[in-house]
Amino acid sequence: MSMFFPPGRLILRVVGLTKRFPGVLALDRVSLELYSSEIHSILGENGSGKSTLAKIIAGIYTPDEGYIEILGKSVKLLNPIDAVSYGIYYIPQTPNLIERLTVVENVLMVMRSYGVFARTSSIRDLVVEEFRRIGSPVDPEARVSELSYTQRQVVELVRASLLRVRVLLVDEVTTYLPTSIRERFYGYLRKMKSEGRTVLLITHKVSEAVDVADRVTVLRSGRVVRTLERAEFDVDYVRRLMFGEDYSASELLKNALSSISITENRRAVVKLDRVWTASENGGPVLKDVELSVKPGEVLGIVGISGSGQRELAEVLVGLRPVKSGRYYVDGLDVTNRGPEVIRAAGVGFISEAPLYYNLSGDLSLVENLALAIRGRLFLPLKLLTSKTRELIEKYGIAAASPKTPVKVLSGGNVMRFAIARELEFAKKVLVVLNPSRSLDERFVSSFTSAIRKLSQSSNLSVIYISESLDEVLRVSDSIAVISGGRIVGTFTRESVEREVLEKLMVM
Amino acid sequence: MVKISLVVTKRYKKSVSTSTPAILSLSLLLGLVISYVLIWFFTKLDPASFFSTFYSTLASYAGLLEPLLFLSLLGTAISVAFYGSFWNVGAEGQYVLGMLGAIYLVMFSPASSMLLGSDGTTAGVAKLLAVALGGFLGSLWSLLPGVLKAYTKIGEVPVMLLMNYIAYSISDYLTAGPWKGRYTYGYIRTDLIPESSKLTVIPGFEILRYEVVAAVAIVFIGAYLLIERTWLGLEIKVLGSNPVALRSSGRDEKKTIVLVSAISGFIAGLAGALRLLGYDYRLAYNIGDGKTGFYGYTAILVAWLSFRDLKLVLPSALIVSALSSFGYRMQMSLKGLLPPGVSAFAFSQIFIGVTLAVYTVIRITKEYSVKLVVAR
């Protein structure tokens, strides 16, 4: 397309960007250059400032210092509309679409040039053509609520494409995608690149950055550590840049190989006996599930996205009714007795979506901590506040104060806080659902080793549900594979080959 | 087929530059200006008399005090419910039930003759019981929609609106029937409550009653402590902001809904009881015809203006009191200027309407962006 520049032209330059949030220096004099026809990855751990940087380029935040140049001219991006008018488009982790509108209507929403009373008929053909070009047909009249997560992201790509976007900011989009679909998504990004566009890929996954990007800029604590060319990509080196010199691959290995003890001949703390449950539409999503977890045992449950993991977690914490079968915690029949009884029986819950399942974004850290405990009449505010401070310190949560509302924290910090709270208060059982979706490698690694330690020192039983086989292999004593709502195999850690698990997962 | 959708999306970042008090003042200012333009269009009223009327409304603060007190009480009642996303639009009915409870206790109950005997020493107890019974009835009136919402998921809003009319009807039935007075000069109403059961006028402030001022202070501080310092308050706030988190923390969501509805209704009932014992002294027939001052409805505006921030209930109540009393005064100035068929009352409501519309627009555009999509 003629509107794009030949490869290697300097499109966007970020100079000395600084951004402060209450109590946090999110970006510290960050500079960056983006060229046409490149996929440039911003890599950093949680709280390194990568999302802040992307949001400034997208006009969502305004910087405290520094400026942005587009094609050599300094510009002021005061809101996302300004950014779009300069050809910059931001795709967030959660697609920014209206569920009850159709695909075309959603596309039309961002097309300002069509005016306030725009009609969908005027762009339907364009949309269809664009989906075809990207190679992922989606019914333009389908409601977004009926689309899969991947299809929604494709709708975002089509919007970007139709807006003649020069710079596409992709913020942790692939985090939720299963591997096979992730590959396809990279294909779309490469296509965007081949047309002369620039893709800025924000990620905390080293492998992703190294696989897809032409150049990688590593951010640490709000500063640019280095920008690497393809020739310099080396996973171990990149990790060291990302986490600092104190870190090396051997640490990961050490955690992975930490002692594994199977606790035989002990009564199960958690027992699911032929449990069935239904989806929102009434169809079965868990089928005849049998599980048992002993004291101090970590049971990993692995499967590809959408195999019934979320529903299993919801049954275990009491949020979803059991249609048939029984559920016991420590010998007590808790089937359909609700979270009141199950939580009181000592079951904690760490979820992939803490702001949905576990925390109230509007309330402060202190109040959210209190939510994990029970009490009569007055809140012991002093005690709660000092406990919150302690957790902020111990888990490295970037929060201005214990009174900060949870919603102003970054995604990774919200997750850390949710984890901190449950690790402190789960007494017998901990249900963990896809924790690594918004966490970087280092935190996942210290989280999994904390889980291993707790399971051994406090006899905590853990059900660790994840889409990441590596993670499950690292943390579990035994492993069950879930597929199509059924447990299709249960193994001890030593007895199983990785390949067997992988095959079972896609069966 | 043409389908028009209004698309409202939450903004990425919340604007931090405009605080709620700033929005309140801005709405008031813009509301006045826009109202004046509207009124001028129909009546050519000169600006001097418009703005001097507004000034004199504020200057005669005594006239504002009485609505201020009751709107504060009812506004607090509704605000507490709002914290838990329990949309108490039934404060009007709960307020009426409070009046019924109070008048029953001081005039028709066995306790009245015992406590309000000749010496008057136990009159304080009678008043206290009357207020408590009023609160209790208000609480029951709110409990019903609360229980329905919690256990059957029936929306509380329509139920409460209907129950407001039921409350009016009960009051009218009692006033025209069993409680009809003997010394009423032909009006359908109850007799006046016994002198000793009336609330105490504060000397020098004819419009104030000791008990009402004390109740406002107690209720306000109590509500603040409840919301900010207690476990129940925490549960109410989580219920209002993320009920899933409330459930998964092992709390009983249903119980919390029921409790918040009862507390909110109790405060509204209390306000009704105080109103009867301190100002009205009797019930009149056709109570739904403005005899409650519609405070139960107007207080929804107070709660909405101060949305989930108890500290703003008093300033919001003040603004709403000023606007309604300004509207009332404007009716006089507008007489004779209006085209035939247009009532002065309708015009007097313009400020409240316009000011709140401006407020709502500012508030919505602060947090949401709005766009129209037409599909064909």
Nearest one of A115, A118, A24, A31 to A67, comparing CA atoms: A31
Task: Choose the closest CB to A101 out of B234, B241, B373.
Answer: B373
Please tell me the distance from the alpha carbon of residue B91 to that of residue B252, in angstroms, as a whole number. 25
Q: What is the pLDDT of residue B10?
A: 61
Statement to judge: residues A295 and A382 lie in one domain: no
Instruction: State ipTM.
Output: 0.84
B40: pLDDT confidence band, cut at 50, 70 and 90?
Answer: confident
Same domain, A333 and A237: no
Q: How many domains does chain B have?
A: 2
State mean pLDDT over A167-191: 80
Query: Does the pLDDT value for residue A305 go beyond 60?
Result: yes
pLDDT of residue A241: 84
Last residue of a domain, one of A397, A425, A453: A425
Are B267 and B168 in the same domain? yes
pLDDT of residue A253: 40
- On whether the pTM is more than 0.80, the answer is no
Chain A CB contacts of B376 below 8 Å: 119-121
pLDDT at A506: 67
Whether the pLDDT of residue A71 is over 70: the answer is: yes
Residue range B220-224: mean pLDDT, rounded:
97
Within-domain flag for B77: yes
Given a cut of 70, whether residue A176 has pLDDT beyond it is: no
With H, G, I as helix, E, B as strand and everything else as coil, classify residue A166.
Answer: coil
Residue B325 lies in a domain: no
Subunit contact A362:B247, Cβ cutoff 8 A: no
- Between these two residues, A392 and A245, which has the higher pLDDT value? A392
pLDDT above 60 for B15: no
Residues B111 and B11 in one domain: no
Residue B319 lies in a domain: no
Query: Is the residue at A100 inside a domain?
Result: yes
Q: What length is written for chain B? A: 376
B217 and B353 co-located in one domain: no
pLDDT at A301 over 60: yes
**In this complex, do A108 and B242 lie within 8 Å of one another by their Cβ atoms?**
no
Instruction: Give the residue on B whose Cα is nearest the Cα of A81.
Output: B369
Query: Quick one: pLDDT at residue B2?
Result: 65
The reply to whether B120 falls in a domain is yes
Summarize pLDDT for B253-279 with one digit per residue, the tens. Answer: 999 999 999 999 999 999 999 999 999
A404 and A439: one domain?
no
Comparing CB atoms, the residue among A104, A319, A344 nearest residue B247 is A319
What is the rounded distance in angstroms from the CA atom of residue B211 to the CA atom of residue A385?
A: 37
Of B244, B249, B252, nearest to A356 by CB-CB distance is B244
User: What are the two backbone dihedrals, phi and then psi, of residue A322, each rounded to the nearest 5 degrees?
Assistant: -90, 130
Q: Are residues A76 and A169 in the same domain?
A: yes
Over 50: is that where the pLDDT of B17 sits?
A: no
Shared domain for B136 and B229, answered yes or no, is yes
Considering the domain architecture, whether residues A303 and A162 belong to the same structural domain is answered as: no
- Tell whether B293 and B369 lie within a shared domain: no
- Chain B partners within 8 Å of A121 (Cβ): 376
Q: For A17-53, b where at least 16 C-beta lie within 10 A, e where not — what string?
A: bbbebeebebbbebebbbbbbbbbbbbbbbbbbbbbb
Å from B366 to nearest chain A CA? 13
Q: How high is the pLDDT of residue A118?
A: 63
CB contact (8 A) between residue A60 and residue B12: yes
| Range of the structural domain that residue B15 is part of | 1-45+337-376
Q: Which of B111, B118, B160, B148 is nearest to B268 (CA)?
A: B160
Residue finishing a domain among B276, B298, B313: B313
In this structure, the answer to whether residues B88 and B203 fall within a common structural domain is: yes
Sign of CA dihedral A171, B369, A124, A4: negative
Same domain? For A323 and A456 the reply is yes
Residue B347 CB coordination number (10 Å): 22
Q: How far is B326 from chain A (nearest CA, A)?
A: 36
Q: Residue A268: pLDDT band by 50, 70, 90 thresholds? A: confident
Which domain covers residue A493, as residue numbers?
256-346+427-505
Distance in angstroms (rounded) separating the CA atoms of residues B354 and A14: 45
Q: Pick the last residue of a domain from A378, A402, A425.
A: A425
Q: Do B119 and B20 reside in the same domain of the chain?
A: no
A212 and A324 together in one domain? no
For residue B160, what are the contacts with CB-CB under 8 A and spacing of at least 6? B87, B88, B89, B90, B93, B142, B145
A103 and A156 belong to one structural domain? yes
- Confirm whether A241 is domain-assigned: yes
Residue A3, domain member (yes or no): no
Assess whether B23 and B67 both reside in one domain. no
Q: Give the residue among A132, A490, A133 at the shortest CA–CA distance from A293.
A: A490
Q: Looking at the predicted structure, is the pLDDT value of residue B120 above 80? A: no
Mean pLDDT of chain A: 85
In a domain, A1, yes or no: no
How many CB atoms sit inside 10 A of residue A471's CB? 23
| In a shared domain, residues A324 and A409 | no
Neighbours of B197 (CB within 10 A): 24
Tens digits of residue pLDDT in A360-413: 999 999 999 999 988 888 999 999 999 999 999 988 888 889 999 998 888 888
Chain A positions in Cβ-Cβ contact with residue B242 (cut-off 8 Å): 355-356, 359-362
Beta carbons of A367 and B374 less than 8 Å apart: no
At residue A151, does pLDDT exceed 90? no
Give how far A177 is from chain B: nearest CA, Å.
24
Cβ A105–B5 below 8 Å, yes or no? yes
Residue A352 lies in a domain: no
Work out whether strand A215-220 and strand A198-203 pair parallel, antiparallel, or are unpaired: unpaired
Is B245–A359 a contact, with Cβ atoms under 8 angstroms apart? yes
Residue B65 in any domain: the answer is yes
Q: Is residue B330 assigned to a domain? A: no
Q: How many independent structural domains does chain A possess?
A: 3
Task: For residue A350, give the chain B residue with the closest CA.
Answer: B248
| Among the listed residues A273, A274, A265, the one whose alpha carbon sits nearest the alpha carbon of residue A294 | A265
The residue with tokens 């609480």 is: B139
Instruction: Spell out which residues of chain B touch residue A360, defining contact as CB-CB under 8 Å.
Output: 237-238, 241-242, 245
Do both A31 and A143 map to the same domain?
yes
pLDDT of residue B132: 97
Q: Report whether pLDDT(B69) > 50.
A: yes
**pLDDT over 50 (residue A459):** yes
Q: B150-171, pLDDT tens digit by residue? A: 999 999 999 999 999 999 999 9
Most confident of the ranges A474-483, B93-102, B174-183: B93-102
Q: Is the pLDDT of residue A256 over 50?
A: no
State yes or no: pLDDT of B24 exceeds 80. no
By the 8 A CB rule, do B194 and B116 touch?
Answer: yes
> Quick one: what percent of chain A has pLDDT higher than 70?
92
Instruction: Mutation target for B interface from A316, A341, A360, A378: give the one with most B CBs within 10 A.
Output: A360
Q: Looking at the domain assignment, is residue B324 inside a domain?
A: no
Nearest Cβ partner of A117 from B5, B241, B372? B372
Query: Is A371's CB within 8 Å of B249's CB?
Result: yes
B350 and B241 within one domain:
no
Question: Of A196, A215, A247, which closes a domain?
Answer: A247
Backbone phi, then psi, for B204, in 5-degree steps? 90, -20
Candidate ranges A335-344, A366-375, B18-27, B215-224; pick with highest mean pLDDT: B215-224
The CATH number linked to A168 is 3.40.50.300
Which residues of A fall within a CB distance of 8 Å from B238?
A: 360, 363, 367, 371
| Chain B closest-CA separation from residue A55 CA (Å) | 10
Residue A264: what pLDDT? 43
> Which range has highest mean pLDDT (A1-15, A144-158, A177-191, A206-220)?
A206-220
A2's CB contacts (< 8 A; 6+ apart) are none
In chain A, % of residues over pLDDT 90: 37
Q: What is the pLDDT of residue A493?
A: 81
Q: How many angstroms away from the CA of A408 is the closest CA of chain B?
A: 9
pLDDT for residue B283 is more than 80: yes
CA distance A111 to A118: 9
The answer to whether residue B147 is domain-embedded is yes
B-chain residues near A342 (CB < 8 A): 250
Sequence-separated (6 or more) residues with CB below 8 Å from residue A166: A4, A11, A36, A86, A87, A88, A197, A198
CB contact under 8 A, A363 and B5: no
Shortest Cα–Cα distance, A378 to chain B (Å) = 4
- Domain-ending residue, one of B313, B328, B345: B313
- Residues of B within an 8 Å Cβ radius of A: 5, 7, 9, 12-13, 229-234, 237-238, 241-242, 244-252, 371-376
User: In terms of domains, do A316 and A378 share one?
Assistant: no
pLDDT band at residue A114 using 50, 70 and 90 as cut-offs: low
Retrieve residue B175's tokens.
């006033």
Closest CB to B373: pick one of A109, A358, A378.
Answer: A109
Q: What is the pLDDT of residue A252?
A: 43
Candidate from A384-388, B19-23, B24-28 with smallest mean pLDDT: B19-23
Residues B176 and B228 in one domain: yes
pLDDT given for residue A299 in this prediction:
95
Comparing alpha-carbon positions, the chain B residue that sits nearest to A431 is B248
- Nearest chain A Cα distance for residue B262, angstroms: 17
The per-residue pLDDT for B325 is 83
- Residue A470 makes CB contacts below 8 A (sequence gap 6+) with none
Q: Do A43 and A71 belong together in one domain? A: yes
Say if residue B365 is in the same domain as residue B262. Answer: no
Predicted confidence (pLDDT) at residue B366 exceeds the cutoff of 60: yes
Question: Would the CB atoms of B374 and A359 count as touching at under 8 Å?
Answer: no
Residues B247 and B270 grouped into a single domain: yes
Nearest CB partner across the interface for A109, out of B229, B232, B371: B371
pLDDT at residue A254 in the model: 42
Give how far B2 is from chain A: nearest CA, Å: 9
What pLDDT does residue A233 have?
A: 84
Q: Which residues of A touch B365 (CB under 8 A)?
A: none
Task: Name the pLDDT band for B343 (thresholds 50, 70, 90).
Answer: confident
